[in-house]
């Protein structure tokens, strides 16, 4: 007999006043919070009366989603814990995630080949050559770690896989029916909010602790209601709306807040269109972009092959738990923003930020900016069949007029999954796309993550511009030589490729020889007709085929419970964090400031992700071990090698070390000797002399992404505490995950003097007052520690030693 926690019983008449996302959080704490359930229930209901305390609530999702660049360091940590467990006499095969972990292999695929029918196969072959070592490691993990499933290269982009295949919306766990919830180690994880699944992006360390059954802690969030009125005009697409939403919501600070879409206009959007808007949550600065469950959600589930029986379960559960969307209801929100869908028009965003929406007329500057890259790319705009079909229809009309794409444009089409090729093939739209050079180049992130591959030789050198259906366009993201990129819908990408330039008003000027955009643009009715080709069985068939990847099957990976570490590997090294001997960094201690920085230090400043620069210590390390200087790769591909990551810390040239602002990024002063050294070498000297070190920072320390290396790096440097005037939420938890004490101070400290900190393990409590002494000056800092679990983590020396000790106890 299936059971459920009755939300009506738990919340009474307050239930329908709660935003839908809080109803799901309420269900989650009732089910998982144990002793904390009543306190958490009170915190959630208290939110309605703005009576919430600063209390955090525990959220334990039902599964975890990762991709190939974030999973490697996490899986290496688990592999390291297994090695440590075995050395301590435990059974390593028993150390497994307790939640399902799905891993996509999507972020590495590059567009080396394009414009031919074999482009996808050739790119895939290069992909396996380049990444063999990392893939063997991932395959080992999926073979030996229970619960870890790696979807081989070619299966698609993680968020599309999640939408089409993994998400159940409502699930049954141990006989209890509950909402499908997840966290993902990618900021675009909220894309799944488009079909009523609550999820958001977290850092790798947070994901690791969740994998082992520890909840994500969060304050009951502000929830912003975005009310859609009216409906989109014919010819206006989900991309246009997503860019309007991003522009509008960016005008409000949404950091740490949840967004939920309501109002009569919601019903006019398909679930695929909603997913496009939900995907851009990080671009508009929110944690979520949630659409409640309704008939369109069920329509999407059926169209992607979910069974009638399952759809009935989703509907029944959602209606009984007040999770079914009621357009007339008026939940309470922290704030409400109205958007009239009728007013949305054809939009692009750029040239350097996704929130800078522009019309086609506005981007025409009369300059001579040629389209160097035209890419139908990214989870954002290739997962919605309406958008892919619209691009195909535009291509079809262009080919009917014998139009071609100029030679200087690098064209590519990388759908979110192979399902798109099946329905485009059925609709007869793959051929015209191919005739314009938009052959499928593979199923992965490609141009969206900067793997656009080389530009074509005939690219004109005067200000090359990219036009892509992605969600980000920061300078250099798409391609190192491209400073200006415009985000646009897939059919608009094809139209600009045909034009070969962005310096025309594509809505008014002829694209070529008397052909105007209006002649090519597909109508809603034409899109609907082409969508009739979508077959619900396509999803299962295409995934089954991709999962059988012969190249993946041929990859030989060991099947031992322990990973055979290779000390010579430049990609995967045994991580030093997973140790039973890890000491707590707490205590009464005196430390040197290793580094002093100012405000707004981001995780990118701390641990860069991009190209490993020649001339730096990381490059020297790799070249000394046989790496090719021309193919050093990026830091994000080397996250399984701590030696490389250590040498990259703080090397961003814009970081000013306030110990001496004339120093280059990555250098510091070893204070006892006065020597200027690379940070990692200074840290080694301090360690050799048994000297403790701390890091001093200003406001918003750790802003940006949830990058775990931004905390792992300082842990490797031996940092015991970070003293800052404020911390970004996820980075604060990552520091604690690495055993580093975050201390909040009222004013920035820029000193070369030694600092005494009184933080013994037995006296640490959430928000404890900590005595800090610098010379004759004393001050009181606050431990930026929120929960008892965080105290326990710091006492254990970090989350990995904590997991390890618990595993040993249960071995
Ligand atoms: Fe990949 Fe770009 Fe989406 S990097 S996960 S396609 S936002």
- Domain-embedded: residue 96: yes
Ligand 1 center from residue 449 Cα (angstroms): 6
The pLDDT of residue 521 is above 90:
yes
Q: What percent of the chain is modeled with pLDDT above 70? A: 98
Do residues 429 and 396 touch, judged by C-beta distance below 8 A? yes
Q: Quick one: which atom of ligand 1 is closest to the CA of 191? A: 3
Q: Which residue has the tokens 């919605």?
A: 384
Nearest CA to ligand 1 atom 3: 379
Ligand 1 center from residue 279 Cα (angstroms): 10
Q: Among 18-27, 46-55, 412-421, 527-536, which stretch is predicted with the lowest mean pLDDT? A: 46-55
The pLDDT of residue 54 is above 70:
no
Distances (CA, A) of 798 to 1, 436, 734, 736: 41, 54, 9, 7
Per-residue confidence (pLDDT) for residue 789, from 0 to 100 = 84
Same domain, residue pair 526 and 662 = no
Same domain, residue pair 149 and 286 = yes
Tokens of 381: 């705009």
Same domain, residue pair 480 and 338 = no
**Residue in 276, 470, 473, 609 to alter for ligand 1 test, most ligand atoms within 8 A of Cβ:** 470
- Domain-embedded: residue 539: no
Same domain, residue pair 136 and 216 = yes
Same domain, residue pair 100 and 185 = yes
Q: Quick one: which atom of ligand 1 is closest to the CA of 279? A: 7
Do residues 79 and 563 touch, judged by C-beta distance below 8 A? yes
Give the list of residues 6+ apart from residue 335 with CB closer than 8 angstroms, or none: 222, 224, 225, 252
Ligand 1 center from residue 705 Cα (angstroms): 14
Mean pLDDT of 321-332: 94
Mean pLDDT of 429-454: 95
The pLDDT of residue 665 is above 80:
no
Domain final residue pick, 518, 533, 548: 533
Ligand 1 center from residue 156 Cα (angstroms): 11
Distance (Å, rounded) from C-alpha 239 to C-alpha 590? Answer: 55
Q: Quick one: which atom of ligand 1 is closest to the CA of 158? A: 5
**Residue in 110, 159, 199, 420 to alter for ligand 1 test, most ligand atoms within 8 A of Cβ:** 159
Is residue 308 packed enough to be buried (19+ CB in 10 Å), middle (13-18) or exposed (0-12)? exposed
Distance (Å, rounded) from C-alpha 378 to C-alpha 477? Answer: 13
The pLDDT of residue 2 is above 90:
no
Distance (Å, rounded) from C-alpha 739 to C-alpha 793? Answer: 7
Per-residue confidence (pLDDT) for residue 409, from 0 to 100 = 96
Give the list of residues 6+ apart from residue 320 with CB closer than 8 angstroms, or none: 4
Same domain, residue pair 53 and 76 = no
Tell which phi-psi region holds residue 679, choosing left (phi > 0), alpha (psi between -120 and 50) or beta.
Answer: alpha
Strand-pair category, 258-262 with 288-290: parallel
How many folded domains does the chain comprise?
4
Same domain, residue pair 380 and 425 = yes
The pLDDT of residue 786 is above 90:
no
Distance (Å, rounded) from C-alpha 640 to C-alpha 202? Answer: 19
Does a cis peptide bond (omega within 30 degrees of 0) precede residue 592? Answer: no
Ligand 1 center from residue 280 Cα (angstroms): 11
Tokens of 717: 């440097």
Going by the DSSP 8-state scheme, the letter that residue 613 receives in this structure is: P
Per-residue confidence (pLDDT) for residue 654, from 0 to 100 = 80
Q: Residue 86 in 3-state DSSP? A: helix
Q: Which residue has the tokens 């950091």?
A: 255
Say if ligand 1 is within 6 A of residue 131 CB.
no
Distance (Å, rounded) from C-alpha 450 to C-alpha 689? Answer: 43
**Residue in 102, 106, 279, 450 to alter for ligand 1 test, most ligand atoms within 8 A of Cβ:** 106
Q: Which long-range CB contacts under 8 A does 9-12 form with residues at least 24 apart?
A: 10/41, 11/45
Say if ligand 1 is within 6 A of residue 281 CB.
no
Report which of 151, 166, 194, 158 is spatially closest to residue 61, judged by C-alpha positions. Answer: 166
The pLDDT of residue 51 is above 70:
no
Per-residue confidence (pLDDT) for residue 659, from 0 to 100 = 94
Give the list of residues 6+ apart from residue 586 with CB closer than 8 angstroms, or none: 741, 759, 760, 761, 764, 794, 795
Do residues 272 and 386 touch, judged by C-beta distance below 8 A? yes
Residue 178, domain CATH = 3.30.499.10
Nearest CA to ligand 1 atom 1: 445
Distance (Å, rounded) from C-alpha 291 to C-alpha 260? Answer: 6
**What confidence tens digit (pLDDT) does each residue in 21-36 have?**
999 999 999 998 788 8
DSSP per-residue letters across 337-371: EEEEGGG----EE-SS-TT-EE-HHHH--SS--BE
Which alpha helices (H) appear in 102-174, and where do they start and end?
119-144, 158-161
Q: Which residues form the domain of 199?
A: 63-343
Distance (Å, rounded) from C-alpha 484 to C-alpha 482? Answer: 6
Q: Among 202-206, 761-765, 794-798, which stretch is predicted with the lowest mean pLDDT? A: 202-206
Nearest CA to ligand 1 atom 4: 449
Say if ligand 1 is within 6 A of residue 379 CB.
yes
Choice between 450 and 725, residue whose per-residue pLDDT is larger: 725
- Domain-embedded: residue 618: yes
**What confidence tens digit (pLDDT) does each residue in 592-641 have?**
999 999 998 988 889 987 778 888 999 999 999 988 887 787 787 888 89
Same domain, residue pair 617 and 731 = yes
Kindly indicate the confidence band of residue 1, based on its pLDDT and cuts at 50, 70 and 90.
very low
Q: Quick one: which atom of ligand 1 is closest to the CA of 67? A: 5
Same domain, residue pair 667 and 760 = yes
Domain final residue pick, 58, 79, 96: 58
- Domain-embedded: residue 724: yes
Q: What is the dihedral of CA 111, 117, 118, 123, to 10 degrees?
A: 10
Say if ligand 1 is within 6 A of residue 396 CB.
no
Domain final residue pick, 487, 518, 533: 533
Say if ligand 1 is within 6 A of residue 471 CB.
yes
In the sheet that 101-104 helps form, which strands lie side by side, from edge to edge? 148-151, 101-104, 63-67, 181-184, 198-201
Same domain, residue pair 673 and 770 = yes
Mean pLDDT of 76-80: 95
Do residues 539 and 155 touch, judged by C-beta distance below 8 A? no
Ligand 1 center from residue 471 Cα (angstroms): 8
Same domain, residue pair 367 and 298 = no
Mean pLDDT over the full length of the chain: 93
Nearest CA to ligand 1 atom 6: 378
Choice between 810 and 303, residue whose per-residue pLDDT is larger: 303
Q: Quick one: which atom of ligand 1 is closest to the CA of 106? A: 1
- Domain-embedded: residue 175: yes
The pLDDT of residue 254 is above 90:
no
- Domain-embedded: residue 23: yes
Distance (Å, rounded) from C-alpha 585 to C-alpha 798? Answer: 9
Do residues 190 and 221 touch, judged by C-beta distance below 8 A? no
Q: Residue 692 in 3-state DSSP? A: strand
Ligand 1 center from residue 448 Cα (angstroms): 6
Do residues 727 and 742 touch, judged by C-beta distance below 8 A? yes
Neighbours of 49 (CB within 10 A): 10
Ligand 1 center from residue 316 Cα (angstroms): 33
- Domain-embedded: residue 544: no
Distance (Å, rounded) from C-alpha 98 to C-alpha 393? Answer: 46
The pLDDT of residue 52 is above 70:
no
Same domain, residue pair 486 and 365 = yes
- Domain-embedded: residue 546: no
């Amino acid at each position: 007999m299936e059971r459920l926690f009755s939300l009506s019983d738990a919340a009474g008449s307050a239930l329908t006043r709660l935003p839908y996302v809080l109803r799901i959080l309420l269900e989650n704490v009732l089910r998982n919070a144990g002793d904390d359930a009543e306190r958490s229930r009170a915190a959630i209901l208290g939110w309605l009366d703005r009576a919430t305390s600063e209390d955090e609530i525990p959220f334990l999702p039902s599964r975890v989603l990762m991709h190939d660049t974030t999973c490697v360091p996490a899986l290496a940590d688990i592999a390291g814990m297994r090695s440590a467990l075995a050395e301590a006499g435990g059974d390593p095969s028993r150390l497994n995630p307790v939640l399902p972990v799905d891993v996509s292999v999507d972020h590495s695929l590059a567009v080396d080949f394009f414009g031919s029918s074999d482009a996808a196969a050739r790119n895939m072959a290069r992909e396996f050559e380049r990444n063999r070592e990392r893939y063997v490691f991932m395959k080992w993990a999926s073979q030996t770690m229970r619960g870890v499933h790696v979807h081989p290269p070619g299966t698609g982009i993680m968020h599309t896989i999640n939408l089409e295949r993994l998400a159940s919306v409502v699930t049954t766990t141990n006989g209890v029916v509950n909402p499908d919830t997840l966290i993902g180690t990618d900021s675009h994880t909220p894309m799944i909010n488009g079909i009523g699944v609550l999820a958001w992006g977290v850092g790798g360390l947070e994901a690791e602790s969740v994998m082992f059954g520890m909840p994500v802690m969060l304050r009951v969030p502000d929830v912003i209601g975005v009310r859609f009125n009216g409906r989109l005009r014919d010819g206006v697409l989900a991309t246009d709306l997503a860019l309007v939403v991003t522009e509008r919501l960016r005008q409000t600070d949404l950091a740490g807040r949840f967004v939920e879409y309501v109002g009569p206009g919601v019903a006019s959007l398909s679930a695929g269109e909603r997913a496009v808007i939900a995907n851009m949550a990080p671009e508009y600065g929110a944690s979520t972009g949630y659409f409640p469950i309704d008939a369109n959600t069920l329509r999407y589930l059926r169209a992607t092959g979910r069974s009638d029986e399952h759809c009935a379960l989703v509907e029944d559960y959602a209606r009984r738990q007040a999770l079914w969307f009621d357009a007339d209801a008026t939940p309470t929100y922290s704030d409400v923003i109205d958007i009239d869908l009728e007013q949305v028009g054809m939009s692009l965003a750029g040239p350097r930020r996704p929130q800078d929406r522009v019309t086609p007329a506005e981007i025409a500057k009369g300059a001579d900016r040629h389209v160097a890259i035209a890419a139908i790319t990214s989870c954002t705009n290739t997962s919605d069949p309406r958008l892919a079909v619209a691009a195909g229809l535009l291509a079809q009309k262009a080919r009917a007029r014998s139009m071609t794409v100029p030679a200087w444009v690098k064209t590519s089409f990388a759908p979110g999954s192979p399902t798109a090729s099946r329905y485009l093939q059925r609709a007869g739209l793959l051929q015209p796309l191919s005739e314009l050079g938009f052959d499928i180049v593979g199923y992965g992130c490609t141009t969206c993550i900067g793997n656009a591959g080389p530009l074509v030789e005939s690219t004109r050198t005067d200000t090359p511009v990219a036009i892509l259906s992605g969600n980000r366009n920061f300078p250099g993201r798409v391609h190192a030589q491209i400073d200006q990129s415009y985000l646009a819908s897939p059919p608009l990408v094809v139209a600009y490729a045909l034009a070969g330039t962005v310096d025309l008003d594509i809505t008014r000027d002829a694209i070529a020889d008397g052909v105007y955009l209006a002649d090519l643009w597909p109508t809603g009715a034409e899109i609907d007709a082409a969508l009739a080709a979508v077959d619900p069985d396509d999803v299962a068939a295409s995934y089954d085929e991709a999962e059988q990847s012969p190249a993946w099957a041929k990859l030989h990976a060991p099947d031992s419970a322990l990973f055979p570490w290779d000390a010579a590997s430049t990609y995967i090294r045994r991580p030093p964090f997973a140790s039973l001997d890890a000491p707590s960094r707490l205590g009464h201690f005196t430390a040197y400031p290793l580094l002093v920085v100012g405000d707004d230090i981001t995780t990118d400043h701390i641990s860069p992700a991009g190209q490993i620069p020649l001339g730096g210590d990381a490059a020297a390390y790799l070249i000394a071990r046989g790496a090719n200087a021309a193919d050093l790769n990026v830091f994000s591909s080397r996250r399984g090698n701590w030696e490389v990551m250590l040498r990259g810390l703080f090397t961003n040239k814009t970081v000013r070390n306030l110990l001496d602002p004339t120093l280059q990024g990555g250098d510091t002063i070893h204070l006892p000797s006065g020597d200027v050294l690379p940070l990692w070498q200074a840290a080694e000297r301090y360690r050799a002399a048994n000297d403790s070190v701390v890091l001093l920072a200003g406001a918003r320390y750790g802003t940006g992404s949830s990058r775990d290396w931004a905390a792992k790096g300082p842990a490797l440097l031996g940092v015991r505490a970070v003293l800052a005037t404020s911390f970004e939420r996820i980075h604060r938890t990552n520091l604690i995950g690495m055993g580093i004490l975050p201390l909040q101070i009222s004013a920035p400290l820029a000193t070369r003097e030694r600092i005494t900190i009184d933080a013994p393990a037995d006296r640490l409590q959430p928000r404890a007052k900590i005595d800090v002494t610098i010379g004759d000056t004393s001050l009181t800092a606050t431990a930026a520690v929120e929960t008892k679990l965080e105290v326990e983590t710091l006492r254990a020396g970090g989350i990995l030693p904590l997991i390890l000790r618990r595993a040993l106890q249960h071995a």
